[in-house]
Chain A
Amino acid sequence: MSEASPAKAYGLHFGAIALLFVLSFLLPEYYHGLLARIMVLAVFAMGYNMLFGYVGLLSLGHAMFFSAGLYGAGLAVIQLGWSVPAAFAAGLCCGVVLSLVIGLLALRTSGVAFMIVTMMFAQVFYLIILYFSSWTGGDQGMVVPQPARVLAFGATSLDLTNPTVRYMSALGLFSLVLMITLVLVRSRYGRVLVAIRENEERTKMLGYDTFSNKLAAVVISGIVCAASGAAYALLFGYVGSGFASVQYSILPLLWVLLGGAATTLGPLIGTLFMYYVIDITSGYTSAYLLIVGVALILLVLFFPKGILGSMRQRWLGWLP
């Protein structure tokens, strides 16, 4: 990443947000709804990217952070009757606590061991959801009631089930997380994370407390993923254990690899690409996952660093 390009970088990101805003008025109804969902899940991918892309820690347990937000917010509404902002905050709190605990334990390992430990913790989290099925709805999941999904401001209120409100809410969350990510990776802290990824021992020798920095990254990543989960529950009205399964730990990894690890916009591109490939190919064949697999292989062959990662390597060195 070039240091001398903040204007380009910020311009690109504001441009991307503006494009997504304009698309809200141009897209056909179905793609409008789909893009809202993609933006929420891209936030999940951005949270994953924070740890995987910038710190180099490959986790296979991020479904638990997403689910912590999903269930934290969803159960707060369903079981406790909390309002949308309080439920969203509850989802974030669940993400903070869980990621702090998991970070403290899992960061005692690294490499393959870190991957296995996070996967095991996620499996424990998944089984806990199934075990407390009378509260969580188990594998069937639960519906967040439509009347409760309303954001009230005094006398006025916003219905989160309204497609425009939902799109704008998703865009708001996406934009916020995108800009925070951009600022973060361009900051001194972001440089330290990259230094840890490139050579942890050398970073230690330079006097940095790598454990604390990595722990902070796990917590930030956990909060972002939990925010995505909480938004999913409140915007789309369903919480279910499927989102805590290993599949949802692998998906953000794929989205990030596709879009480009350690690129700020890569997670969006990857999620968008994957969603559209599945959506289009499933209309032609039930073997659509085969096509997705072939597409992934081709991308790995020709864009080994993901779409944006390879573009940065070849043409756009300033891309953050």
Chain B
Amino acid sequence: MDKSKTFDLSKTGLTRRTALKGLAATAGLVTAPGFVRYSQAQSSAPIKIGFQSHRTGIGAAYGRWYEKTTAAAIKAINAAGGINGRQVEVIIEDDGTDPGRGAEVVGKFATQHKTDIVFGTLFSHVVIGSAPAAGEAKIPYFVVSEGHHVASTKLNRYVFQPGITDVKSQIQSMAPWIAANAGKKVTQIFPDFAFGYDHRDYLPPALKAQGAEVIAQIAIPPTESSFTKYFPQIPAETEVIYHVMVGPAVLTFVKELGEFYGSNRPQLFGFMDSLEATDINSPGLEFLDGSHFWEGSPRYAQADDSAGQKAYRAAVGIDDNGAAVGDPKDVSTASHMFGCWETLYVVKKAMEDAGYKGPEDRAKLVEATEALTAFAEGPEHPQGPKTFNGKIHQCFGIQNISKVEGGKLKVVHKTKIEDGLYEAEGDYTTQAL
């Protein structure tokens, strides 16, 4: 062996005194406050989740309940040991339900708060406006929006929707039940903007596949405050009115529809989006008695609620009527907010699968999320079982159809996951990370 290439301690001039000094210095360095912080950052510093909340603007009612659900989920996750042994901390920024501010907030999470992910956005225009910022910052962006934008694969590889089904899937799931139970000739009434267009575009083919048809589509401008003039456009042979009006005008809409038809009305089928955070027993809504609604997760406690559903409701703090415990007037957005709970458990699972340590592992987190395929019903997924398509970053699940009976909503049918499946429109996994 060539000794010139080996390290010989005896030739370094290293005395015992020097060695002791070196050891002391090393010990000092290790115990110095900065080093402690550094080593803790690797092991026990909290995982930071940036919550893009609609605290103000048109989404404020949803935002408040999304925050409550998120707080409850984080509390449960932390009580059970956190994620990868680390506690989870939520940092909230208000996006004003505005896409421009939304993009800034995503940038703020990525570059100022340095959160591990961004989470929680509901309104579609804010998601679409913020997605480019998330893609450019390469920060995973977990939305709870139900829009079809994620699954359309028009956003980017960093955007996921693993905790709530998308509207295309929801509409498609409703068609078999409507055709079999409500009627074959359907008239749609919807707001004349994107939310309404999803229903306008996805329902007719779904009904056609079930042997039913849409015989009229009535788009109502978002600025409209009275609807009586539109009702004569409803064809006389209509068997089902499919309505998805949203916003404050919905009370007027239902009241005027009741005045138009009296007691002899067609079947009514609506989406709960119309009445989220609104008491179903509000004056003017009596006309809805006996009608049916899509619900993501049931607002009212059901007789057959699973243990997971019961635990979830208790943790979030909603009573059997879907209102805040102690404040019956504070009605929740039950059909959507479960998505926050479930998304956070998906994030937990994906971070654990990825062995996630910090922002340098964000690409691993994306791949680990894409590798997920199914979520079993239980405390982590109280709404029901789901499948996940990693190519389009979208989950698929069951839907509830509820009937208004005696001032409450009773689930009368649960769809199957397969009812809401459709052909993938692209593949995010082909995009570079």
Contacts and interface: CB of A to CB of B under 8 A. Distances in A.
Interface in B205-248: none
B98 interface: yes
Contacts, number: 89
A144 interface: yes
Nearest to A247: B98
B287 to A, nearest CB: 28
Given A146-B156, A238-B99, A286-B55, A140 B132 contact: no
B100 A133 contact: no
Contacts of A286: 55-56, 94
A243 B100 contact: yes
Nearest to B149: A140
Interface in A96-145: 130, 133, 137-144
Contacts of B371: none
A240 B112 contact: no
A227 B107 CA distance: 23
Given A29-B111, A286-B56, A240 B128 contact: yes
Contact of A282 (B94, B103, B192, B194): B94
Given A33-B107, A238-B99, A289-B56, A138 B197 contact: yes
Per DSSP, chain B at the interface is helix
A108 to B, nearest CB: 27
A161 interface: yes
A242 interface: yes
Contacts of A282: 93-94, 96
Given A30-B111, A37-B104, A140 B125 contact: yes
Contacts of A238: 99-100, 103, 128-129, 132
Contacts of A172: none
B125 A161 contact: no
B359 interface: no
Nearest to A149: B132
B107 to A, nearest CB: 5
Contacts of A33: 104, 107, 111
A237 B197 CA distance: 23
A282 B108 CA distance: 12
Contact of B103 (A161, A236, A279, A283): A236
Given A34-B107, A142-B128, A28 B112 contact: yes
Contact of A139 (B94, B125, B136, B156): B125
A236 to B, nearest CB: 6
Interface residues of A, number: 33
A283 B101 CA distance: 13
**Residue with the highest number of chain A CB atoms closer than 10 Å, among B55, B101, B128, B131:** B128
A28 B112 CA distance: 8
Nearest to B95: A282
A133 B193 contact: yes
Contacts of A240: 99, 125, 128-129
B135 interface: yes
A298 to B, nearest CB: 22
Contacts of B108: 30, 279
Contact of B136 (A37, A142, A146, A289): A146
A139 B55 contact: no
A34 B110 CA distance: 12
B194 A133 contact: yes
B176 interface: no
Contact of B147 (A29, A32, A140, A237): A140
A237 B132 contact: yes
Given A133-B197, A236-B103, A238-B103, A141 B128 contact: yes
A63 B19 CA distance: 72
Interface in A63-118: none
Interface in A28-46: 28-34, 37
A30 B114 CA distance: 10
A32 B101 CA distance: 16
Contacts of A34: 104, 107
B132 A144 contact: yes
Contacts of A144: 132
B246 to A, nearest CB: 12
Contacts of B155: 143
A146 B131 CA distance: 10
Given A28-B112, A30-B108, A33-B111, A137 B128 contact: yes
A14 to B, nearest CB: 29
A263 B223 CA distance: 38
A33 B111 CA distance: 9
27 contacts: A28-B112, A30-B107, A33-B104, A130-B192, A130-B193, A133-B193, A137-B128, A140-B128, A140-B147, A141-B129, A143-B128, A143-B131, A143-B132, A143-B155, A161-B132, A236-B103, A238-B99, A238-B129, A240-B99, A240-B128, A240-B129, A242-B125, A279-B108, A282-B93, A282-B94, A282-B96, A286-B56
Given A30-B107, A30-B108, 10 more contacts: A28-B111, A29-B111, A29-B112, A30-B112, A137-B128, A236-B133, A237-B132, A242-B100, A282-B94, A289-B56
8 pairs of A and B residues whose beta carbons are closest in the complex: A237-B132, A30-B112, A29-B111, A30-B111, A140-B194, A286-B55, A138-B194, A139-B193
Interface of A: 28-34, 37, 130, 133, 137-144, 146, 161, 236-238, 240, 242-243, 278-279, 282-283, 286, 288-289
